[in-house]
Amino acid sequence: MIRGNDPILLTPGPLTTSLTTKQAMLRDWGSWDASFNRITLSICKDLVEVVGGGADYACVPLQGSGTFAVEAAIGNVVPRDGKVLVPNNGAYCARIVKICRYLGRAVVDLPVPEDQPVTGATIAAALDADPGITHVAQVHCETGAGVLNDLTGVAQVCQARGKGLIVDAMSSFAALPIDVASTPFDALVAASGKCLEGVPGMGFVILRKAVLEGCAGNSHSLAMDLHDQYSYMQKTTQWRFTPPTHVVAALRAAIDQFHQEGGQPARLARYTENCRALIDGMRSLGFRTYLPDAVQAPIIVTFHAPADPAYVFKAFYEATRERGYILYPGKLTQVETFRVGCIGAIDANEMRNVVTAVAQTLTALGLHADLARRRLAA
């Protein structure tokens, strides 16, 4: 895994990367150089293979964070007179709703409780209620709370009803299983700095080629025109505009390690072990998880804050950081929480060290573990 003095990032991206991935950024690359362009093409090929896409799918890389790629997918795939259904059970679903409104796309904001997964039945009922819906935008793992939505069920309903499906797989791609054979989609969006364990700076959209061809002339933005980016790369092997060369090189190294580890099944196994070690350890300290285990994805875990008037997240964060671990604030609006990520170049032993650091933090702040347990149970 990693060694050094930098704190471990327990977030859903950026995340802690391996030394090999870091070292890949020590070389400079020419953005039009043939050797760099071969890296880009190899990455796109490998990313399509992660979902079993084959020749019918293409990967279009895009400069910027994952949100850039989500906006590009909505703005390219959904026609200007389309209507998007967004089942909303968290902060990142809400962001898609906001994107649709910025782009002038009609949107149906379907509220779903933050602790409940979206299912195929949820989508079927919404489509029955509004036949004008043309597309569904589904977040696979909603890391606002950490809930895992039923992507396969949603995809199958969309296919049966003839509706386009755009998948935000930002926090699930390469860790949770997604296969186009059982989970058909029009477009899937992810990024370099998540479960691939690269660094932030490159998003990408995997699209059915038939859908991609239909995107010609539809983009709201030159920089985010997926069809133009793809067409230019097919003709020249180059990015249209300056690529994030060091990010791309690091991603190539990260994907190589992904394959060496055993691909998606092995990555899921490690993250699942991380998640279990974290939850078991934190529960032993008296913390309660926000989600029931049945809907908890092994990506990021939301914990209720200690029920003590003296608890302040900033102080809790700083004290834990001093012990080598960076936590994540909560994203929920109704209850006070904090989040701990299970992904990145870390293992279950590191997660047990996290629990030890949190126990030390509770003591340092005057919240002893037994005190926290009694008050959380109240």
CATH classification of the domain holding 68: 3.40.640.10
E strand map for 53-170: 57-63, 83-88, 106-111, 135-139, 141-142, 147-148, 164-168
Q: Quote the percentage of the chain above a pLDDT of 90.
A: 91
Only one residue has tokens 């370099």, namely 192
Q: Are residues 68 and 135 in the same domain?
A: yes
Q: Does 289 map to a domain?
A: yes
Residue 314 lies in a domain: yes
pLDDT 10s digits, 88-111: 999 999 999 999 999 999 999 999
Residue 96, in any domain of the structure = yes
Structure-block tokens of residue 268: 């899921």
If one compares 310 and 95, the residue with the highest pLDDT of the two is 95
Triad 179, 181, 184: Cα angle to 5°:
80
CB atoms within 10 A of CB 372: 22
Same domain, 196 and 293: no
Domain boundary among 244, 260, 276: 260
pLDDT for position 4: 57
pLDDT tops 70 at residue 373: no
Confidence of residue 331 (pLDDT cuts 50, 70, 90): confident
Which residue shows structure tokens 């059982």?
A: 182
Amino acid at 121: A
Is residue 2 a part of any domain in this protein? no
- Condensed to tens digits (0 to 9), the pLDDT of residues 179-217 reads 999 999 999 999 999 999 999 999 999 999 999 999 999
Predicted pLDDT at 158: 98
Same domain? 153 vs 286: no
Residue 133 lies in a domain: yes
For 141-166, what is each residue's pLDDT tens digit?
Answer: 999 899 999 999 999 999 999 999 99
- Cβ atoms of 158 and 119 closer than 8 Å: no
The CA distance from 243 to 265, in Å, is 30
Q: At residue 70, does pLDDT exceed 70?
A: yes
Domain count, the chain: 2
Would residue 131 count as lying in a domain?
yes
**Rounded distance between C-alpha atoms, residue 230 and residue 213, angstroms:** 10
Paired tokens of 228: 């133009």
Q: Report long-range pairs for 261-266 (Cβ below 8 Å, ≥24 apart).
A: 263/50, 264/50, 264/174, 264/175, 264/176, 264/177, 265/177
Residues 162 and 230 in one domain: yes
Tell me the per-residue pLDDT of 245-285, one tens digit each, with 9 for 90 and over. Answer: 999 999 999 999 999 999 999 999 999 999 999 999 999 99
Answer yes or no: do 347 and 372 share one domain: yes
State the pLDDT confidence band at 375, using cuts at 50, 70 and 90.
Answer: very low
Task: Compute the mean pLDDT over every residue in the chain, rounded to the nearest whole number.
Answer: 94
CA atoms 96, 173, 233, 238: torsion sign: positive
Q: Which domain holds residue 275?
A: 8-12+263-377
Per DSSP, the residues of 3-58 read: -SSSPEE-SSSS----HHHHHGGGS---TT-HHHHHHHHHHHHHHHHHTT-GGGEE
Residue among 269, 255, 295 nearest 49 (CA): 255
Q: What was the pLDDT predicted at 58?
A: 98
pLDDT over 60 at 378, yes or no: no
In a domain, 3, yes or no: no
First-to-last CA distance in the chain? 39
Closest CA to 279 of 254, 302, 258: 302
Q: Which of 213, 237, 260 is the last residue of a domain?
A: 260
Residues 255 and 290 in one domain: no
Residue 372 maps to which CATH number? 3.90.1150.10
Please check whether residues 247 and 352 belong to one and the same domain: no
Same-domain status, 249 and 301: no
Looking at residue 200, what is its pLDDT?
Answer: 97
Cis peptide, bond prior to residue 111, ω within 30 of zero = no
What's the mean pLDDT in 358-369? 86
* Domain's final residue, options 208, 243, 260: 260
